[in-house]
Amino acid sequence: MNAQIRRAAEILRAGGLVAFPTETVYGLGADASNASAVARLYAAKRRPADHPVIVHFAAAEEAFSFAREIPKTAEALAARFWPGPLTLILKRSAQAKDFITGGQDTVGLRVPSHPVAQALLREFAGGVAAPSANVFGRLSATSTAHVKEEFPSGVDLILEAGPSEVGIESTILDLSSAEIALLRPGKISKRELEEVLETKIKSKRASSPRHSGGLERHYAPKTPALLVPPHALDAEIAKRKAPVAVLAFSRPDERVDYWIRMPREPRAYAQRLYGALRELDGAGCETILIEAPPETSEWDAIRDRLQRATG
Ligand code: TXA
Ligand code: MG
What separation in Å is there between the alpha carbon of 256 and the centre of ligand 1?
Answer: 36
CA–centroid distance, 309 to ligand 2, in Å, is 12
Closest atom of ligand 1 to CA, residue 166: 1
Ligand with minimal distance to 219 CA: 2
Question: In this predicted structure, what is the pLDDT of residue 209?
Answer: 40
What's the rounded Cα separation, in Å, for the pair 27 and 195?
Answer: 29
Q: Is residue 188 a part of any domain in this protein?
A: yes
Residue 275: inside a domain? yes
Question: Which of 101, 140, 144, 169 is the pocket-test mutation for ligand 1 (most atoms within 8 Å of CB)?
Answer: 169
Residue 236 belongs to some domain of the structure: yes
Are residues 145 and 269 located together in one domain of the fold?
no
Q: Is the pTM of this model over 0.85?
A: yes
Residue 33 Cβ contacting ligand 1 at under 6 Å:
no
Find out whether the beta carbon of 108 lies less than 6 Å from any atom of ligand 1: yes
Q: What is the pLDDT along the chain (311 residues), one digit of tens a residue?
A: 799 999 999 999 999 999 999 999 999 999 999 999 999 999 999 999 889 999 999 999 999 999 999 999 999 999 999 999 999 999 999 999 999 999 999 999 999 999 999 999 999 999 999 999 999 999 999 999 999 999 999 999 999 999 999 999 999 999 999 999 999 999 999 999 999 999 999 887 654 445 545 556 788 999 999 999 999 999 999 999 999 999 999 999 999 999 999 999 999 999 999 999 999 999 999 999 999 999 999 999 999 999 999 98
Residues 183 and 285 in one domain: no
| Contacts (Cβ under 8 Å, ≥6 apart) of 169 | 24, 25, 132, 140, 184, 186, 213, 219
For 63: left if phi > 0, alpha if psi spans -120 to 50, otherwise beta; the answer is: alpha
Give the list of residues 6+ apart from residue 3 with CB closer than 8 angstroms, or none.
none
Inside any domain, residue 187: yes
122 and 23 within one domain: yes
Nearest ligand (C-alpha, residue 139): 2
Give the C-alpha separation, 208 to 213, whole Å: 10
- How far apart CA 68 and CA 93 sit, in angstroms, is 4
Q: 71 φ, ψ to 5°?
A: -65, 155
9 CA → ligand 2 middle, Å: 22
> Does residue 164 have its Cβ closer than 6 Å to ligand 1?
no
Asked if residue 266 and residue 186 are part of one domain, the reply reads no
CB 120 less than 6 A from any atom of ligand 1: no
Contacts of residues 91-95 at CB distance under 8 Å and 24 or more positions apart, as own/partner, are 91/67, 91/176, 92/66, 92/67, 92/68, 93/65, 93/66, 93/67, 93/68, 94/68, 95/33, 95/65, 95/66, 95/127
The predicted pLDDT at position 215 comes to: 58
Q: Which ligand is nearest to the CA of 57?
A: 1
Specify the CATH number for the domain of residue 264.
Answer: 3.40.50.11030
Q: Give the SS3 label for residue 138.
A: strand
* Same domain, yes or no: 152 and 290: no
89 and 140, same domain (yes or no): yes
What are the Cα distances from residue 170, in Å, to 239, 305, 309? Answer: 37, 12, 17
Residues 232 and 112 in one domain: no
| Ligand (nearest to CA of 134) | 2
- Within 10 A of 268 (CB to CB), how many other CB atoms are there? 12
Ligand 2 centroid to residue 237 C-alpha, Å: 31
Same domain, 11 and 160: yes
Distance between Cα 259 and ligand 1 center (Å) = 31
Strand, helix or coil at 210? coil
Q: Are 107 and 92 in contact (CB under 8 A)?
A: yes
Judgement on whether residues 113 and 184 belong to the same structural domain of the protein: yes
Whether the CB of 169 sits within 6 Å of ligand 1: yes
Tell the residue nearest (CA) to atom 12 of ligand 1. Answer: 131
Report the pLDDT value the prediction gives residue 96, as an integer from 0 to 100: 98
Query: 288 near 221, Cβ under 8 Å?
Result: yes
Look at residue 213 and tell me if it is in a domain. Answer: no
Q: What does each C-alpha distance from 263 to 117, 250, 282 come to in angstroms?
A: 28, 9, 21
Say if ligand 1 is within 6 A of residue 267 CB: no
Which residues lie across from 126 on neighbouring strands? none
Residue 217 lies in a domain: no
Ligand 1 neighbourhood includes 131 CB (under 6 angstroms): yes
Protein residue with its CA nearest to atom 22 in ligand 1: 211
Q: What angle, 0 to 180 degrees and rounded to 10, lies between the N-to-C axes of helices 266-281 and 300-309?
A: 10
Show the CA angle centred on residue 251, arms to residues 248 and 253, nearest 5°: 90
Residue 174 CA to ligand 2 centre (angstroms): 17
Answer positive or negative: Cα dihedral of 198, 202, 203, 204.
negative
Task: Say which CATH number the domain at 47 has.
Answer: 3.90.870.10
Angle at which helix 190-197 crosses helix 72-81, to 10 degrees, equals: 130
User: What separation in angstroms does the CA of 63 have from each of 104, 139, 141, 181?
Assistant: 17, 27, 24, 20
Q: Are residues 34 and 170 in the same domain?
A: yes
Q: Do residue 189 and residue 238 come from a single domain?
A: no
Per DSSP, what are the bridge partners of residue 29?
18
Whole-number Å distance, alpha carbon 211 to ligand 2 midpoint, is 10
Cα-to-centroid distance, 170 and ligand 2 (Å): 10
Segment 271-291, tens digit of pLDDT: 999 999 999 999 999 999 999
- Is 215 inside a domain boundary? no
Number of domains in the chain: 2
The whole domain housing 244 covers 225-309
